[in-house]
Chain A
C-alpha cells in the first residue's frame, strides 16, 4: 500500500515540476500558425484561392442562407450590384425590399447602411499584402515553385490589391493605405485617410504596372483569375476613371495604350482578343448569354468571378432570386422602356419581362442574365442554391465601349462609332450611322451626343454587370440621369412632387464610411454631408 502513495506522490511532483510547460502547451487543432505556413506550391494555390474567395464573398455573397455561428449574418447578397448599380437608374427597391436599396435608390444614404462598409475590401487587401510579402520565400522551401509560377502568383496579388483600392477610391475617395500585413498588436493599427489621388498614383497604377510586368504573357487565359488581359483592362479602367473625373486627355491616351495591351493579350481560347482590330472575337448574338453562363468557353471573357454552388452554396445576388425573394428589382423605367425596343435581343436575355401570371409569385422584375431560364424566358430553371452565378469583372464588350468612349474624347469619333457599333449590331440592332441624329448635329458627329449614346449602350449591354454607377460618375452624368429618376421614385413612395432629385450636393457622390469603421478607427474622418 505504502508504495502506491510513494508512487502517487512522486508522480505528482514530477508532473508538477517537469511536465508543466509542455503539458500547458496546446496548439490549435484546426489551424496552424501563420509563421509555419507559406512553404510550398500548394500553399500558394490555397492562399490564392483565399485571396479570390475573399473578393468573391464580397461581390457575390457569403453563400450562407442562415446566420453563421461566428455571427456573420445571413447572406444578403454581395455588394457587386449595390456598389456598381444600386445608386443608378438600373435598380430600385423590390417588393421584399431592404434598407440598403431604399437608401441607395433615393440618395438618402446613411452611415448605417451596410453597403457602405469597406471591411471586405480591406480584408482582401490584407490577404494580398500577405501573399506579396510571403510568396518570395516559398521557392527556398519548394523548388517546384519556378520563377514563372512565383511571378504569376505575385502578379495576381498586386492586381487584386489594385482592384480593391480602385473600388475604395471610386466609392469613398480618400482612404488609409496599407501595403504591408498587420502583424503585431503592439503597433497602432489606426491609420488616417490619404488622398484618393495618392492612392491612385502611388498604389493602384504602380501595382498594376508591377503586376503586368510580372504576369506571364501571350498564354491562354484562365478567365477565373486576373490574367494579362485582366490587368490591362483594370489599368485602362483606372486611367479612364482618372481621365473622366479630371477631364485629362493625357489619361485618355494612357487608357488607349492599355486598351491596346488588352487587344494583344490572349483570351481563354488562346487567341489575341483583338489582333485584327475587327471585333470578330466578340461572342456572337445567338450565344451572347454564354458570357454569363459559360464565360470560360467564350473568346470575349477577360475576367469573371467563379462560383461553385456545391462548395460556395447559395449565390444569393439581391437582384434576382436572392434566397427566395429579391429585395432589389429592375427599375420600372428601364424595365418598361427597354423592352419596347423589340429588336434588341438582349432584353429577354437580361430580365423577366413576363407580365406575370397574376398569382402573386410571378416576379416580373428579376434579372435573368446570369441564369439558365426556361424556354419562354419567364422563369429561372433552378433554385438560387443550385445556381452558379459568374459575375463579370471585365469582358471585351465592356472594353470596346470604354475604348469607344476614350476615342470619342480624344477626337477619333469615327473609330469610336465603329467600336460602339460592334456591340450595337451584335445586339441585333442596325448600325448607328455617323449621320444619325442621335449622335450628330447637322450630319456632324457630336462629341457629347456620341458620349451619351455610348453611355446608353453601356447601360444596356452591361446591365447588372456592376458598371452603371461608375459610368455616371466618371462621365459626370449623375445629375443628368438621376434627378428625374429619383424625383419620380420619391413621388411614387411619398406623394411629394418636385424634389430636387439627386440634389446639388456633389459631396453625396461619395459614399459615407460605415459607422462602425469610424468607431474602430478614431483616425478616420467621415465624408462630408454624412455626419
Chain B
C-alpha cells in the first residue's frame, strides 16, 4: 500500500493544487510528503455495500481513495460511506483473501461491490516479525502460514490440534487423549542432542514465549511457521528450531460484532486392546508352575471372574467448549475481547480439565501517527492429572480374576500385589491450578510515512500449583500412610523492545524496507515444594493436617536474562528480484563473561522468473513462478544458566544431623557457547491456472554445530558431566505443498491442500568421537542417524535343543534325525545339514550368561560370531523418526454446506513397545503376560514359538527387557484426524431475530486410524532423542460432537 501512495503522489498533488493553490498549499505539500498523510476538501459522498459473490455482507473491507491514505472500512453489515474529491476519483476495495477491485466513481453515488474470493494466495499477508510483513508473493524465505480460516475449519482445543498436518516440515505430535496433554512440535527435524532445546520458539504478538499453551486457538488471527534460517535468524540465539509467530485477533472498524460458539463433544477409547483372560492366565500359571502359579482351579468362583479392566477404567468422555467474543472499532480505535471456557471430562475416570481463557486487545489511535495497543491475556486451568502408570498401564498388570472392591464395598488399593487402576484413578489426586496473566503494551509512532518507531513492554506471570494426595487406602494392604505434596511454581518474565521500521519505494521499481532495534528480557522462576505424610484428616491436604516430610521440602529459584540488537533489510526490484538480509547480536546470561555475545547473519534472494520476458509463453497457465535461496545462522541456548560455573551443591544430602555441602558433579565451563545452526534452503513457488493451483517445494540442509552437550567426564575425576560445545548434526529434508481449487462455482467448490515432508538427521561428529547415549536404546554415533534404536536382534526361539547349531561362519545348521526325550524335554540329533547338504564339520553353539542355549531359549543374532551373546552384539533394530509425514486437507462447499476433512500420517518410523516388553518379562509373581505371549510360548521340543520358555527366561537372558527387537514395531499410520460438516443458516431468516449469521456443525476427530501398531496408538510425544518408546501413554480417544456458532 505504501507503494501505491508514493507512486500516486503526482495525482494527489494535482488534485490538491487545483483546489486551493498558493504558498500555503506548497507548505502543506511538503508536510504531506513528509508525513504521507493528507486532508482534502471533500465534495462527493459515496455510499454502498460490499458483499461476497453469494451476496452476504463483508465487514472490514478496506475502501480507500486510490493513491491516498484516505479511506474507511465496511461495517458489520458491509456498508461504507466516504467523501471523495470528484468523479474522477478511484475507489480501491481490498480485503485479504478476496480479489482487489478498483472502481472509478464517475456519476455514481452508490457503489455496491461484489468481491470474489481470491483463488491465489499470492496477496496474502505473511507476518515476518518485528512489526513487518510481506505479501506471500514477495517472500524470500520459507514460511508456512495457517490462517484463522484454516483453524475454524477444525475444532482445535490446543495449538497442536490447529497445526497438525497443516504445514510441510512441521511434525506435530499430538497427545490429545490426555486433557492436560499438549504434544510436541518439531520443525525440520531434531537438530540438537540437548534434552530441552528441540522445541520451536513462540512469538505471540511479538513477545517471545517458550510455549503457547495459554493461547486459545479461536483467538488466533494467523500463525506463521518460520522454517528457514533467513526467516528465523532475526530471532538469533533461540531460533534454531524454528519460530512460530502467532498473531491474535484485533477488532475491525464497524459496529460491535458479537460471536458466540458452543460445542459439545463425546469421546470414547479409540482403540481397545485385547487383554489376557482368566483362562489364559490359568494356562500361564500352569506353565510357570511355581509358588502362586499352582492356582489353576477353574471351579473356584474367586478365580472365575474375568474382568477387562479397560471397561471399568474408561468411560465416555465429554468435552464442552463455550466461547464468546466481542469486537469492533471506530476510526482506528479498535477492540477485541474474548472469553473461552472448556470443560473436559476425559475418557479415564476422574480425568478432567477446566480451562478459562480471556483475551483483550485494544488499539487506540491517539493521533494520525500515534497508536497505542494494550493486550491482556489471562488463562486459568484446573484439572486432575491421571497417573497413567498406575491406571491405564495397570489394566494389563492386574489379574483378570481380581476384584477392584473389598468385601465392604470400598475400593481396594492393591489386590494380589497389583495396583487397582480404578482406585488409583478415583482416589489419587494430582490437581493442578495454573494461572497465566500476560500484559503487553505497544506504542507505534510514525515519524514519517515511511519511518515508524515501535516500542513495547510485556510482563508475563505464571503461577502454578500442583497438589497431590495419595490416601492410605491406596497403600499395600490399605494400612500405610497417606502422602501428599503441595507444589508451587511462579515465573515472572518481562521483555522490552524498541525498533524502527522503514518502508519506501524509490522511483518506480525499487522497494526498500528495513528494520533495526533492540530488546532485553529477563525471566525468573521460583518453586516451592512441601511433602507431607501421616495426615490427621484425609479430607485436608495442607501441611497443618500432615507431618511435613523434610526430605520433600524444597525451595529453588533460577533466572536468566538476555539483550539483543537486531536488524533486517529487504530490497525488491520490480518485484522480480528480491533480496533480504538480517543480522542479530544476542547476549545471554547463560554463557560465561567472554562468550555472552553471539552474531547471527542471514541472507536470501528470490527471482520471479515468471516475470521475465522469456517466460511470456507460459503466462496462460503459469501465473507466478519464483525461485528462492536462503542461508543463515541461528542459535540454541537451551541450557541451564549455571553451566558456566563450578558450584557447591547445598542440602542435597545429609549426614548425622548436618546438611551437606559438596562440589557439584557438574563441572563448570566458562567457555560454553551457543549451539549454532547453519541452514540453507532452496525453494520453488509456483502459482498455476489462474491461481487455482499452487505448488511449493523446498530442499534444506541444516547443520547444527557446537552442539550443546552434557559431556561425560571420566568418573575418576570425581565429576560426572560438563556442558561443552562439540559435535555436528546434519538434517536434510524435502518438503512439498500442493494446493488447489479443482472446482469453484457459485454453488460448489472444492479446495484441497496436501503437504509431505521427508527428513533425515545424521550425526556428523561427537565429542571425543564417543557414541552418545541418549537414553537406554538410543545411541548416537558418528555417521549414525538420530533416533536409531540399539537392541539385540531377536531371531525367534530355538525349536529344539539341537537347533542351537552353527558352522564356523555362523550359518545356522539344520538338525537331522531328531530324537526327542519327552520326559526330560530334551532332544538330540543324528547329524546336521547346511543348505540341504550334510554337514560334518565342527558344530558351534551360542552361549549366553555362560550357558549353552537350548530349545525354548531366545535365539539372538551373534553379530561378531564369537559364540557368546553379549553387549557387543547389539545392532540397530529400528529408527523412531518417520521417513516422511504428510497432511491432506479437503474442503467442499455446496451452497450453505461445508465439509472439511483432514488426513495426516507418518511412514517408516519404529516404535519400541516397552509396555508389552515389560509385561512379558514375567518378573512379577502376579502380573500376567500378554495373551499372545502365553499362547505363543515355547513349551516342548519342536514347538515353533515366538516367546521363550517362561521357567528359564532369566537364566538364559531370553527377555532382554528394553533391548529386544521383538518389541520393535512399525509405527506407520494414516489417520482421518478431523472431519467437520457445517451449515450456514440463511442470513435472511436470521435478521428477523437479530442474528447476523449462524452456523451449525457436526464434527469428529480421530475417526479412523490405519496402522499395524499393536498397542493403543502409534502417535505420542517423546523426549527429545528417545523418540518412539511407548512406555505407557494416556490412550487416545475418538471424538464426535456438534456445535453452533452465532454472530450478532
A residues sitting closer than 8 Å to B (CB atoms) are 1, 4-5, 8-9, 12, 15-16, 19-21, 23-34, 37, 43, 45-54, 56-57, 63, 95-97, 102-103, 106, 108, 110-112, 117-119, 122-123, 125-127, 129-130, 175-176, 178, 181-183, 185, 189-191, 224-225, 306, 308, 310-313, 324, 360, 383, 493-494, 496, 515-517, 519-524
Contacts and interface: CB of A to CB of B under 8 A. Distances in A.
Interface in B483-518: 496, 498, 518
B850 A54 contact: no
A102 B736 CA distance: 55
A4 B443 CA distance: 10
Given A29-B558, A33-B646, A520 B445 contact: no
A185 B667 contact: yes
A520 B645 contact: no
Contact of B589 (A8, A12, A24, A125): A24
A26 B291 contact: no
B715 A521 contact: yes
Given A26-B641, A31-B649, A52-B655, A46 B660 contact: yes
A34 B647 contact: yes
B658 interface: yes
A49 B653 contact: yes
B755 to A, nearest CB: 37
Contacts of A19: 563
A312 B651 CA distance: 11
B129 interface: no
The 7 A-B residue pairs whose C-beta atoms are closest, nearest first, are A126-B718, A50-B662, A521-B714, A53-B653, A49-B658, A46-B661, A50-B660
B520 A23 contact: yes
B414 to A, nearest CB: 11
Given A1-B370, A24-B562, A50-B653, A520 B647 contact: no
Contacts of A118: 715-716
Contact of B455 (A8, A51, A53, A496): A8
Contacts of B641: 26, 28
A4 B551 CA distance: 52
Most buried by B among A23, A53, A110, A324: A53
Contacts of B665: 123
A267 B985 CA distance: 94
Interface in B745-785: 768, 770-771, 773
B549 to A, nearest CB: 8
A30 B650 contact: yes
A95 B924 CA distance: 9
B587 interface: yes
Contact of B718 (A52, A181, A493): A181
A28 B647 contact: yes
Contact of B498 (A9, A63, A189, A520): A9
Contacts of A224: 655-656
Given A15-B520, A24-B596, A110-B870, A189 B642 contact: no
Nearest to A51: B662
B653 A189 contact: no
B871 interface: yes
Contacts of B476: 324
Nearest to B524: A29
Given A5-B453, A20-B587, A311-B654, A178 B562 contact: no
B551 A313 contact: yes
Given A28-B645, A126-B719, 13 more contacts: A5-B453, A8-B498, A28-B647, A31-B664, A32-B647, A46-B661, A125-B718, A127-B663, A176-B716, A182-B719, A306-B656, A519-B770, A523-B714
Given A24-B596, A29-B558, A33-B647, A178 B661 contact: no
Contacts of B443: 4, 8
Nearest to B292: A360
Contacts of B551: 63, 310-313
Interface residues of B, number: 82
12 contacts: A8-B455, A24-B563, A25-B593, A27-B645, A34-B648, A37-B661, A130-B663, A178-B718, A182-B717, A191-B716, A224-B656, A519-B771
B821 interface: no
A31 B650 contact: yes
Given A20-B563, A29-B557, A182 B660 contact: no
Given A8-B498, A182-B718, A191-B716, A53 B870 contact: no
A118 B714 CA distance: 11
Contacts of B445: 5
Contacts of A313: 551
B851 interface: yes
Interface in B581-596: 587-590, 593, 596
B720 interface: yes
Contacts of A225: 656
B714 A189 contact: yes
A524 B713 CA distance: 13
B565 interface: yes
B587 A24 contact: yes
Contacts of B565: 16
A52 B663 contact: no
B661 A16 contact: no
A466 B520 CA distance: 58
A310 B551 CA distance: 7
A60 B453 CA distance: 65
A47 to B, nearest CB: 5
Contact of A46 (B645, B658, B667, B669): B658
Given A52-B655, A108-B850, A112-B871, A493 B955 contact: yes
B373 to A, nearest CB: 15
B875 interface: no
Interface in B409-432: none
A57 B653 contact: yes
Interface in B251-294: 291-292
B654 A53 contact: yes
Contacts of A112: 871
A97 B922 CA distance: 12
B1021 to A, nearest CB: 18
Given A95-B925, A125-B718, A182-B717, A49 B589 contact: no
B804 to A, nearest CB: 14
Contacts of A522: 768, 770
Nearest to A4: B443
Contact of A49 (B659, B770, B849, B954): B659
B310 interface: no
Contacts of B520: 15, 23
A293 B370 CA distance: 79
A46 B659 contact: yes
A110 B847 CA distance: 14
A57 B558 CA distance: 27
Nearest to B526: A29
Contacts of B587: 20, 24
A112 B455 CA distance: 59
Contacts of B671: 185
Contacts of A106: 849-850
Given A12-B518, A34-B647, A313-B551, A25 B656 contact: no
Nearest to A360: B292
A5 B498 CA distance: 10
A127 B652 CA distance: 14
B491 to A, nearest CB: 13
Contacts of B738: none
A523 B291 CA distance: 49
A106 B849 CA distance: 10
A457 to B, nearest CB: 31
B556 interface: yes
Contacts of A52: 655-656
Contacts of A310: 550-551
Contacts of B714: 176, 189-191, 517, 520-521, 523-524
B650 A26 contact: no
B891 to A, nearest CB: 45
B164 to A, nearest CB: 30
